[in-house]
Chains A and B, each alone.
Chain A
Amino acid sequence: MKFNKRDPVYIQVIRHFKQQIASGHYEPGQEIPSRRELANQLKINPNTAQRAYKEMEEAGLIFTEGNSPSKITKNEEVIGRIRDELISEAIDNFVTAIRPINASLDEVIGLLKEKYVEG
Chain B
Amino acid sequence: MIEVKDIKKNFGLKKVLKGVSFTANKGEITCLIGINGAGKTTIMNAIMNLTPIKGGEILIDSERLTKETYEKITFIPDAITMLPQMKIGEALQFMKDFYKSWNEERAKELLSFFRLKEEEKISSLSKGNTAKVNLLLGLGLDVDYLLMDEPFSGIDIFSREQITEVFTSHLVEDRGVIITTHEINDIEHLIDKAVLLDDGKVLREFRTEEVRELEGKSVVDVMREVYQR
A→B interface (CB under 8 Å): 3, 5-11, 36, 39-40, 43-48, 51
In the bound complex, how far is the Cα of B164 from the Cα of A39, in angstroms? Answer: 11
Q: Does any Cβ of A come within 8 Å of B188's Cβ?
A: yes
Q: What A residues does B190 contact at CB under 8 A?
A: 43-45
Sort A-B residue pairs by CB-CB distance and give the 10 closest, nearest first: A5-B218, A39-B168, A8-B213, A8-B212, A40-B168, A8-B209, A6-B218, A44-B189, A9-B189, A45-B190
Q: How far is the CB of A42 from chain B (nearest CB, A)?
A: 8
Residues of B within 8 A of A9 (CB): 189, 209, 212
* B62 in the interface (beta carbon within 8 A): no
Task: Give CA–CA (A43, B219) in the complex, Å.
Answer: 17
Cα distance, A47 to B170, chains bound together (Å): 12
Given contacts A6-B212, A8-B209, A9-B189, contact A43 B220 (CB under 8 A): no
A-B contact list, 6 entries, CB within 8 Å: A5-B218, A5-B219, A6-B218, A7-B216, A8-B213, A43-B189
Which among B168, B169, B170, B209 has the greatest number of chain A C-beta atoms within 10 A? B168
B191 adjacent to chain A (CB < 8 Å): yes
- State how many angstroms separate the Cβ of B150 from the closest Cβ of chain A: 19
Would you call B28 an interface residue if the criterion is a C-beta within 8 Å of the partner chain's C-beta atoms?
yes
Say whether, besides A40-B165, A45-B192, A6 and B27 are in contact (CB < 8 Å): no
B197 vs chain A, min Cβ distance (A): 21
B204 neighbours in A (Cβ, 8 Å): none
Give min CB distance, A52 to chain B, whole Å. 10
Closest to A50 in B: B27
Asked if B109 is an interface residue, CB under 8 A from chain A, the answer is no
Query: Shortest distance in angstroms between B160's beta carbon and chain A's nearest beta carbon?
Result: 11
Kindly list chain A residues whose C-beta atoms are within 8 Å of the C-beta of B29: 45
Please indicate the chain A residues that have their CB under 8 angstroms from the CB of B168 in the complex.
Answer: 36, 39-40, 43-46
Tell me, in angstroms, the Cα distance from A3 to B192 when the chains sit together: 16
Indicate if the CB atoms of B169 and A40 lie closer than 8 Å: yes
Which residues from chain A contact B63 at a C-beta distance below 8 Å?
A: none
Q: B120: CB under 8 A from chain A? A: no
Bound-complex Cα distance A106 to B29 (A): 53
Rounded to whole Å, the gap between the CB of A6 and the closest CB of chain B is: 5
Does B217 sit within 8 A of A, measured CB to CB? Answer: yes
Task: Tell me whether B221 is interfacial, beta carbon within 8 Å.
Answer: yes
In the complex, which residue of chain A has the Cβ closest to the Cβ of B212?
A: A8
Task: Contact check, B192 vs A43: say whether CB atoms are below 8 A apart.
Answer: no
Complex CA distance for A6 and B215, rounded to whole angstroms: 9
Report B62 CB to chain A, min CB distance, Å.
22
Q: How far is the CB of A46 from chain B (nearest CB, A)?
A: 6
Question: Which of chain B's residues have a CB closer than 8 A to the CB of A36?
Answer: 168-170
Contact of B217 among A6, A43, A46 (CB under 8 A): A6
Contact A5 B188 (CB under 8 A): yes
Residues of B1-34 whose CB lies within 8 A of A: 27-29
1/0 per residue, CB under 8 A from A, across B198-229: the answer is 00000000000100110011111100000000
The smallest beta-carbon distance between A69 and chain B, in angstroms, is 16
Asked whether A43 lies within 8 Å of B209 as measured between CB atoms, the reply is no
Using CB atoms, name the residue of chain B closest to A49: B168
Residues in B with CB closer than 8 Å to A7 are: 212, 216
By beta carbon, the residue of chain A nearest B214 is A8
- Whole-angstrom distance between the alpha carbons of A11 and B216 in the complex? 12
